[in-house]
Amino acid sequence: MKHVRRAVRALLSAALAGVLLTGCGILKGAREGGRDTVVMDMQSAADRADAMLDATIKAVVPEIQWAHYVTTVGSCDVSRRRKVVTIISEQRRGNFLGVIERFWKKSGYKITAVRQSKERPAIFAQSRDGFGISLVFGNQGQATFEVATPCVQKSEVSDPKTKPNGLEYPLGEIPAPNVRSDFWSAEAVVPTPSPKVGASG
């Protein structure tokens, strides 16, 4: 009888563990090309990447304008990209990167690298389920967001559903930043707030 109870307990524990792993979306599946694949298809992974980009851009206040950039589809992974068309001045790039870094940390992402550069700074992070996300300043100070998915099950991938909050440009015709923002385009360093008189520490 004890053996039966032990066997039932072991089966229930294994079933529960399987449900938890599947619910978290991180259960590893078959190996493809020497890499483990996550149990989701490329379309689901692309949707997850879009949601990560939506949330990141929404966290930026004041609002910035952006446009969809090229989607890259590999043998078992997808990369989604968005270019920022708001002018982010050299003096405000540090603030912009700081907003993004704080949001990513709050979202549970691990910061994996930071490129300290006056003209082309960048920050890279990874989510708990293996999605890489980055913000890179490139030519003419244009910021580009990118999410690269882990290796997943092969499927067709449709275009992103989220509509840009500005003009829609054909791929390859996105202009250099040309939308001014009173805050992000300002060429003055953000002043550090002075401590309040009488404030207790």
With cut-offs at 50, 70 and 90, classify the pLDDT of residue 192: low
The single-letter DSSP state of residue 86 is B
Q: Is residue 190's pLDDT more than 90?
A: no
Structure tokens at 180: 């001014």
Q: pTM of whole model > 0.85?
A: no
Where are the strands (E) in 35-167, listed by range? 35-41, 66-68, 72-73, 78-84, 110-115, 122-126, 132-137, 143-148, 152-153
- Residue 96, pLDDT score: 97
- Residue 13, pLDDT score: 44
- Residue 166, pLDDT score: 87
- Residue 10, pLDDT score: 47
User: Nearest-CA neighbor of 55 among 114, 123, 107, 128?
Assistant: 107
Buried b (16+ CB within 10 A) or exposed e, 100-128: bbebbeeeebeeeeeeeeeeebbbbbbbe
Any residues with CB less than 8 A from the CB of 73 and at least 6 apart, and which?
42, 157
Whether 42 contacts 78, CB under 8 Å: yes
With cut-offs at 50, 70 and 90, classify the pLDDT of residue 68: very high
With cut-offs at 50, 70 and 90, classify the pLDDT of residue 172: confident
Domain residue extents for the chain: 32-153
CA–CA distance, 127 with 136 (Å, rounded to integer): 17
CA–CA distance, 184 with 67 (Å, rounded to integer): 17
The single-letter DSSP state of residue 176 is S
Region 178-183 average pLDDT: 97
Structure tokens at 70: 């090229």
What are the pLDDT digits (tens) for 24-38? 333 344 444 444 445
Q: Is residue 5's pLDDT more than 50?
A: no
What are the pLDDT digits (tens) for 81-95? 999 999 999 999 999
Of 83-97, 142-156, 160-174, the one with minimum mean pLDDT is: 160-174
Whole-number Cα distances in Å, 143 to 21, 116, 149: 36, 15, 20
- Which has more pLDDT, 126 or 169? 126
The single-letter DSSP state of residue 183 is T
CA dihedral 91, 109, 60, 144 (to 10 degrees): 60
List the 35-41 sheet strands across, edge first.
28-32, 35-41, 152-153
- Residue 118, pLDDT score: 87
Region 132-157 average pLDDT: 97
Mean pLDDT across the chain: 83
